[in-house]
Structure 1
Amino acid sequence: MAEGGVRHYKEWTPRPIRRGRYEYEDESKETSTILNLLGYGSVIRQKRIDLYKEKDRLLRYLLFKCLNADMVVITAGSKAEGLTCIFESDKDVINVIPYNACLEDGVDDSTIPGHINVFKMDTQGCNSGYCRPLLLRQGRLGNHPAIIHSLCDDGYGNIILSSTCFNEYVRTTIMQLFSNPTAHYSPMAGPSLPWSVGNLRNDAVQAICCNCPVILQKWASRTRYWPPQRIVEKVITLGAFVTPIGCKGSEFNHMEWRVCFNTAETELVNNLNITQVNIYIMLKMIVKDVLKPRKKEITSYILKNIVLWLAENNPQTLFHSGSLLHFLHVGLDMLRTAISFIQLPYYMLPERNLMAERELDVEQQRVFVSSITDMLEEGPKMLLRLNKIRQAIICHPEPLLWFSKMRTELEMVRLEQTNRLGQCLITYLGIHQTNTIKQRFIEFIESDITLQACEQRVNEIMFEVRLRLLLEGSSVTFSNQLEDMILS
C-alpha cells in the first residue's frame, strides 16, 4: 500500500461470518423490539420517507410558481432515510443548481443540450473524490448568479468554477434575501449552510449534477452480497453531484469540488434490511451518548459507510433480529479500526479515505479506542450506556407502548399538516395573484377542513399527554416546549 493511501476495500472489509446461532441472540431480539417501539420500525420509516418526498415535490412546485426558480430541492440524510423524528436531528437539503452539469473525463458533451452550462471534471492533482470544474461551454440558461460570480481564470487560460467564491456568494445572498428575525444562520460547515428556526435545524447544500459513469460502473462491478442487481442499476441511474468544498490541505482547495452520491446513498440505506438499519441507529446512539466527539471527528456519515460495507460483504441471511448485537460488535470493531489507523474507504469511491480529513489527535484516538474496547467487552450491558435504550428498558412496557403510539401519531399528523399547507398554498396561488395580501391566505387556510382536523388531533394528543403526566405526578407545561420535546 502506498504511503498515505487507502487499502483496497477487499483488504479492509471483514470476511463473511457464517454462524447458526449467535451469542446474545435473545437480547438482540429484545433490543430490536425496543427500537421498533422507539420509532425506528419499517412502517414508520417508510411513512416518513414518503412524506418528505411529497414535501420536496411541493416545495419544487412552489419555488417555480412563486420565484420562477427551476431548482430541484432534495431532502437527504437521516430525514430522507426515515431515521429521525422532526426535531431529532438536522434536516439535510440539497439545492441542485439548474442548467449546469459536470462531466467526467471522456463523457461526450454533445449529448448535453446546448442551453446547459457544461463543466469538465479535472482531477489532475486532486485527491480522490475531488475535482476542479473546468468550463467547457456556456449555455443560455446556465447563468445562475452564483455560477457567474464564481467563474475565474486558473492562470492557464482555463475558466474554472471556484468553490470558495461560490460559497461566499451563496451565504451572503441567502442571508440578504431571507433575513428573518426568527432564523439563525451559523458559519458554513464544509459545503453546507446551517440555519435554524426554533428547534427546526437545517443544513442546506448547493450542488451541481455530475455525470460520472466510470466511477459508478467501477462501483457496480464489485463482487458483493448486497445490494441486489436491480438496486445497483437504479443507483447508477441516480448519478452524482459535485458540492463546493475542497480537500483539506490541498493546494487547490479553493478551486476544488467534492463528488457526492447523496441520492444514491439514500436509495442504498432505504434498501437495507431492518437489522442493518438498527445497527446504524445504535452506532449513532453510541457515538452521541458514549464517544461524544467535540468537533465531528466521528460523524453519522462515517457510521453509514461502515454499515454499507458490512451489508455488502456479508450474506443477507445472516442479518436478522437475533444477530443484531453480534453485528453491532462487528461494526464497532470496524469503527475502532478506522479510528486506530485513521482510515476508512468511502463506500462509493474506496480510493477516498473518509478519515483523512478528520481532526483526530493522538489523545482522542486513545480515548475513543479505549471506550469502544470497553463496550465490546461489556456485551449487552453496554446498552445501558445509551440513553434511549436505557430509558426504554427501565420503563414499564405499557407506558412505553403508549408513548410510542402518541409520538408516532403526533409526528405523522404534523408532517401531513405541513404538506397539506403546501398543497393549500399551491391551490391558493392558482386562484389568486401572488401579490394578494397575506391576510387573505391566512383566511384561506383557516377554512381548510384537513388542516383543521390535523390541528384538532394535535390538540387532542397533547391533552392526553399532559393529562397522563399530571396523573403520574409529573410537572406539566402548557407551552409548545412539550411538543418539541416529544418530537426531538
Structure 2
Amino acid sequence: MFHTPDYYHNISMRLSEVLDNIGVTENMVMKRRRSFLLQETIERITHRANGTQATSYILGSQSEGTTTPGLQTDVDTLFCLDSFIVIQDWSEWTPGKCNQLMIQNETTSPGYCLLQMLRDDAPLPDTHEMDNIFVKDTQGRILYKNTIIDTVLPEGNQRQGPSVASAAKPGFLASDLVVAHPCKTWPQSSRACLDRQETNSWPTAEMKRYAKTTRCFVVGVGSKVSEKADFEWRISTSLAERCLMFNLNITQIKIYILMKMILKTYINVENLNSESYISSFMCKTVLFYCAASKPSKIWKECNILNCLNVCIQTLNRCILAGNCPHFFDHENNLMAGKISTVVKHQLLERMSNLIPCDETSLFGIQIDKLGERLQIKLNMINEVHHDILQTEEYTLSILTGLLQYTIGHISNCYNFLIDSTKDESLEMKLKILLQLLLHLTKYYRDGAMLEKTACKLLAPLCCTSIGSLIASQNIQINRTISPQAFAWLEAGLDSDGASSRLKLASIMYCTGDMERAVFILNNIEEQYNTEVTEPVCGCYNSLKHYIKRGLGQLCCQYDEAEVKYIVALCVRFFPAEINCVPNELQYEMFRSTQEDLQHSGRCDVWMDCAVADSLPYLYFLQYKTYSNLRRPEEQQQSLNKLMWAIGTEENLAHRETALNLLGQCMEQENRPADAIQCYMLSLRLRERNNVARFHICRCLANIVS
C-alpha cells in the first residue's frame, strides 16, 4: 500500500508546508492547547473560590489545536455538575451528593444508560415524581429524563444533541455548552475496550493508565435508534479522548485537519438536507483506529498523502458497513440511526470520487485557500495573481486572537466572581476576595505551571478590587485613602498595561489629589504604546477589526504572564466602588431603563457597572485633572487626544461610553451642539442600555434654561 510513485512524496512535503503556512505547526498547536487549558484552569480556580460545585472543561478542536482559521471550529465547553454523582454499584453511594444509579441492560443502547434517582440521605431509591422530569417507569424506578435541558434552555440558544448551542456571530465562533454529570468510575464496557487494545504500540500502556484516571461523564442525549431516547444519557469519555489527541504527532494532526477540510468541502455539503451526517468526531475516531492499527513509522511528513488515504478508505468502509464503533466502546455505533439508505448511497458516491485522495481533490479545498496554496507550492500557478495571506500574517492573527480571547476570558471569569457578591455587604465582599487570594496562594504554592500562571494573572485583579472597595468606603467617610487601601492598590498595579493604575488615578482624582493623579496618568501614557498595546474587554464579545503587528510579534515570543503588560483591560467599577468614580462616569451605572432590562442577556452583568476602555478613560481623566489644576493648554491637548482615541482606536469595546464622556467634556467646553452630536453617535452604537438618552435630555434642558 505504501509503495507509491515519487511524486506522492513531493506532494506530501508540499502539502505539509502549506499546513505549516496556515498555522498547523507543533509550536502553534502547543500554543493553542496552552491557551485553552489556561482558560480552563482559571475557571476551575474561580469556581472553587466562589463555592460553585462545578468544573468546566474546554474540549474539541480549539483546545486540541486541531483547527485553522478557515475551519471556524466551535468552542466546546463541558460543564460538569460536581454536586451530582453517577454510580454503578450501591456501594459507591456518596453522602452529600445527588446520587444517580447508572442502569445498563438489554433495553439500553450501547454507550448509553438510564439514570435512577436515589435519596440523598441514604443509599435507597427515590420515590418522588416531579414535573415530567423525574418519572416513574414500569418497574417503579424514578428515572431522570434528559429533556430537562429543554426546560432550562437560555433564550436565543438552541439544543443540538446534549449541548446548548450559541450561533456564530460576525467575528465570533459558535459555541457549544454541554452540561454533564460525573461518574464515580468508568463503565465496565469502556474499561474492557481500553484493556483489549493491545495491537501495535498506540495507545501506549502509559496513555491507557492515564486515560483510566480521567473523569468519565454522562450527558443528556439518547440514541437515535432508542425507543427511550428521552430517558437515555450518553456516556462520555471526552477527557480520555483528549489524552489520545494530545499524544498524536504533528503529521497525524495535519491528517485530521485535512479530513475535516475534505468533510466540509466534499461530504457535508448541500442536498443532504444541510445536515452533517459524518461528524468530525467520526473522523477523529477513524484516526484513532488507524493510529492503533498501522505501524508508527508510517506517520511522517513525507507520507501524509498515503496516510490520508488510509483514513479516507477506513471512513468509507465505516459508511459502507453503516458502523463506526466508538473507540472506547466498540458496541456503540456512532452512525446508528443517522444515515438512511438514500443518504448512504449519496455518501458512498461522494467518497468514491475521493478514493484515492490525490492532489486533484486537494486542489478543490477552498478553506484557508489550501488548494491554491498547494498549486503555488507545486509551481502550477503564479502566486502573484492570488490574494494569499502569508505565513507571518496567519501566525500573528492566530496568536493575537488567542491572547485576546484568553485575557478577555480571565477578566470575564473574575468579573462574574465579583458580580456574584453584588448583594453582599462590604465586609462579605472583602471576605470573599480574601478567600480567593488564599485559594490563589495555595494553588501557586502547590500547583502545576498552568495553575501558577493563572494565579499570577488573577491575583493583581483581586488586590485592585480589595483596594478599590476599601478606598470607596474611605472616600465616603472622610474623602481620604487609608494606608491599607493604598497597600492593596499598589499590590495590584501589574494586572495589565493600564486598567489597575487607571483605577488608582481615578481614586486620586476623587479625593482631590490632582497632582498625584496627573503624575500617575502621565506615567500610564508614557507606557501605553498605541502601536502595540491592545484593548481587551471581558464584558462581552466585542468584534476585533484590526490586529496590531507589534502585539502579534510579542505574542510569538512570550506567554500570557508577560504579554499581559501590553494589553489594556477595560476599567470596570462595580456599584460598591461608586465613590472612586468621577461624576461623569457614574452615570453609566444607571444606563438601563426598565424596558432596557427586558432586553438584557444573562451575560450582561456589566450593565450595572461603570466601564470604560483604558485609552479614552486615560485621556478623559487627564482632561478633568488639568481642568481642576487650571492648566488649559494641557487640558485641550487631552481633549484632542480623547477625540483622536475614539476616532482611530478600532478595537474599543465601550466606544459609546467614551462618546458619552466626550460629550460631557464638550458641555464643559460650552459646546452643547457638539455634545449632543457625541450622544447621538453613542446611541447609534448602542441603542439600548445607553445613558446617552438621559444626557441628551439633560443637555437640551440646559440649553433651554
TM-score bracket relative to the smaller structure: 0.7 to 0.9
Match of 1:219 among 193, 207, 221: 193
- Distance in 2, matches of 1:392 and 1:121, equals 51
- Quote the offset at 1:196 in angstroms: 4.1
Q: Aligned in 2, Cα 1:148/1:277: closer, same or farther, shift over 3 Å?
A: farther
- Quote the offset at 1:202 in angstroms: 0.8
Alignment of 1:30-429 (within 5 A): 30-65=14-49, 68-84=51-67, 88-104=72-88, 107=89, 109-111=90-92, 113-124=94-105, 125-138=107-120, 150-164=133-147, 166-171=148-153, 174-175=154-155, 184-185=156-157, 187-196=158-167, 198=169, 199-210=172-183, 211-221=185-195, 222-225=197-200, 226-293=202-269, 294-362=274-342, 364-377=343-356, 379-387=358-366, 388=368, 389-393=370-374, 394=376, 395=383, 400-419=390-409, 421=411, 425=415, 426-427=458-459, 428-429=461-462
Match of 2:499 among 443, 447, 461: 447
Q: Aligned in 2, Cα 1:413/1:435: closer, same or farther, shift over 3 Å?
A: closer
- Distance in 1, matches of 2:549 and 2:222, equals 51
- Distance in 2, matches of 1:303 and 1:209, equals 26
Counterpart residue type for residue 116 of structure 2 = L
- Distance in 2, matches of 1:332 and 1:223, equals 24
Deviates more, 1:319-328 or 1:383-392: 383-392
Q: Aligned in 2, Cα 1:456/1:400: closer, same or farther, shift over 3 Å?
A: closer
SS at match of 1:207: strand
- Distance in 2, matches of 1:453 and 1:269, equals 39
- Quote the offset at 1:152 in angstroms: 2.8
Q: Figure out how many residues of one structure are paired with residues of the other and give that number.
A: 429
SS at match of 2:395: helix
So what's the TM-score if we normalise by structure 1? 0.78
- Contact 1:119/1:135 (<8 A) preserved: yes
- Distance in 2, matches of 1:379 and 1:237, equals 41
- Contact 2:79/2:178 (<8 A) preserved: yes
- Contact 2:18/2:373 (<8 A) preserved: yes
Deviations 1:151-196 (A, max 9, x none): 33224221221111x212331xx44xxxxxxxx42x2011101014
- Distance in 2, matches of 1:99 and 1:157, equals 25
SS at match of 2:23: helix
Q: Aligned in 2, Cα 1:434/1:161: closer, same or farther, shift over 3 Å?
A: farther
Counterpart residue type for residue 462 of structure 1 = I
Q: Aligned in 2, Cα 1:424/1:131: closer, same or farther, shift over 3 Å?
A: closer
SS at match of 2:178: strand
- Contact 1:117/1:139 (<8 A) preserved: no
Q: Aligned in 2, Cα 1:216/1:206: closer, same or farther, shift over 3 Å?
A: same
Matched, 1:462 2:547: yes
Deviations 1:84-128 (A, max 9, x none): 357821111101011222123xx4x44554112222221121110
- Contact 1:85/1:411 (<8 A) preserved: no
- Distance in 2, matches of 1:279 and 1:424, equals 38
Deviates more, 1:80-89 or 1:422-431: 422-431
Moved over 6 A (4+): 20-23, 433-436, 449-455, 477-480
- Distance in 2, matches of 1:406 and 1:380, equals 29
- Contact 1:410/1:458 (<8 A) preserved: no
Q: Which runs of 5+ in 1 are unaligned?
A: 1-16, 141-146, 176-183, 466-476, 481-488
SS at match of 2:176: strand
Deviates more, 1:211-220 or 1:281-290: 211-220
Deviations 1:189-208 (A, max 9, x none): 11101014732311001111
Match of 2:11 among 22, 27, 50: 27
Across the aligned residues of Structure 1 and Structure 2, the Cα RMSD in angstroms comes to 3.7
Counterpart residue type for residue 447 of structure 1 = S
Tell me what 1:4 maps to.
none
Counterpart residue type for residue 132 of structure 1 = L
Counterpart residue type for residue 174 of structure 2 = R
- Quote the offset at 1:61 in angstroms: 3.1
- Quote the offset at 1:378 in angstroms: 6.0
Q: Aligned in 2, Cα 1:285/1:378: closer, same or farther, shift over 3 Å?
A: closer
- Distance in 2, matches of 1:204 and 1:435, equals 34
